[in-house]
Amino acid sequence: MSGVHPTAIVSPLAGKRVLITRAAHQVAPFVQLLRQHGASAEAVPVIEIIAPESWQPLDHALTQLSQYRYVILTSVNAVQSVYQRMKHLDLLDQLSGAASSPVQWVCVGPKTAQSLQELGRDTDLQPQQYRAEAVIDLLCQHGVKGVKVLYPRAQLARELIPTQLTEAGAQVDAPIAYQTVPAASGGNELRRLFNQRQVDVVTFTSSSSVENFVALLDGDAASLTQSLVMASIGPLTSATALRLGLHIDVEPQDYTLDGMVAALLDFYR
């Protein structure tokens, strides 16, 4: 009599078709993560990351980096922009010279910290919750009165960090490090995927991705996605989706891609 072979464990995401809406250069890690759990991924970037209208404000701040106590980085895009400008300005020794530098680098979450570490610099401070409010609380605990803070940011970033740190007594410089703009195309491809029922899950990793997704579908976003599972990376993104008439089924406790996939696994169990 032949032995009984254990049944292979099948992922709850096996066979699910997941739509990725983030910028094209950020798609690959998400695709890989989904495929590890048996899902297939369809990428239709609805946003693009481009350079700011001028590098001068960021460049000026970076050439005087030693005057700052903290540099706040709230996205991988910010890390990459700062690195590229420091490289352009021949300032990379100030990034890697952690031991002799008075500057403390603050990252909002593990992916941002990992991106910084891969470029040669460890993170000095990271909040337990991966959101701007937690960054503010953490720095205020360390004391910011009279302290200079550099916050390289997207052009559409909330004013929360500079406003609240300034109110706490810090001197905050917040130059634009990159711009998030609508993708030039994608609406027709989105309609094709939805009309042919080739998507089970729609994912959003930023408020701008929600806004541009809705804009590309020209008022039809809610009706085209009403029967689909909608996943948001965190409460701010979810709030944007709800404000624009979409529904949200899945939101992780950890505001990361790993957290989103874990939440989707729980949803389908």
| Per-residue model confidence as pLDDT tens digits over 112-142 | 999 999 999 999 999 988 889 999 999 999 9
pLDDT per residue as tens digits for the range 230-263:
999 999 999 999 999 999 999 999 899 999 999 9
- Position 98 confidence tier, pLDDT thresholds 50, 70, 90: low
Q: Is the pLDDT of residue 159 over 60?
A: yes
| CATH class given for the domain over 51-178 | alpha beta
What's the whole-number mean pLDDT along residues 76-85? 96
Closest by Cα among 247, 217, 218 to 232: 247
Contact assessment for residue 58 and residue 84, using Cβ atoms and an 8 Å cutoff: no
Q: In the chain, where are the structural domains located?
A: 17-46+183-268, 51-178
Q: Is the pLDDT of residue 1 over 50?
A: no
Calpha distance 156→245 (Å, rounded) = 21
Quote the pLDDT of residue 156: 83
Q: Is the pLDDT of residue 143 over 80?
A: yes
- 17-46+183-268 shares its CATH topology with 51-178: yes
Task: Give the tokens for residue 46.
Answer: 């609805």
Contact assessment for residue 232 and residue 250, using Cβ atoms and an 8 Å cutoff: yes
Quote the pLDDT of residue 190: 97
The pTM of this model reads 0.84
Contact assessment for residue 202 and residue 20, using Cβ atoms and an 8 Å cutoff: no
Contact assessment for residue 210 and residue 180, using Cβ atoms and an 8 Å cutoff: no
What's the whole-number mean pLDDT along residues 218-239? 96
Q: What is the longest distance spanned by two Cα atoms in the chain?
A: 79
Quote the pLDDT of residue 107: 96
Q: What is the DSSP letter of 210?
A: H
- Position 200 confidence tier, pLDDT thresholds 50, 70, 90: very high
Q: Is the pLDDT of residue 2 over 50?
A: no
Q: Average per-residue pLDDT in the chain? A: 93
Q: How far apart are the first and last CA of the chain?
A: 34
Name the CATH architecture for the domain at 17-46+183-268.
3-Layer(aba) Sandwich (3.40)
Calpha distance 253→39 (Å, rounded) = 21
Q: Is the pLDDT of residue 198 over 70?
A: yes
Calpha distance 205→21 (Å, rounded) = 8
- Position 100 confidence tier, pLDDT thresholds 50, 70, 90: low
DSSP codes of every residue in 211-254: HHHHHHTTT-HHHHHTTSEEEESSHHHHHHHHHTT----B--SS
pLDDT per residue as tens digits for the range 3-62:
444 444 789 999 999 999 999 999 999 999 999 999 999 999 999 999 999 999 999 999
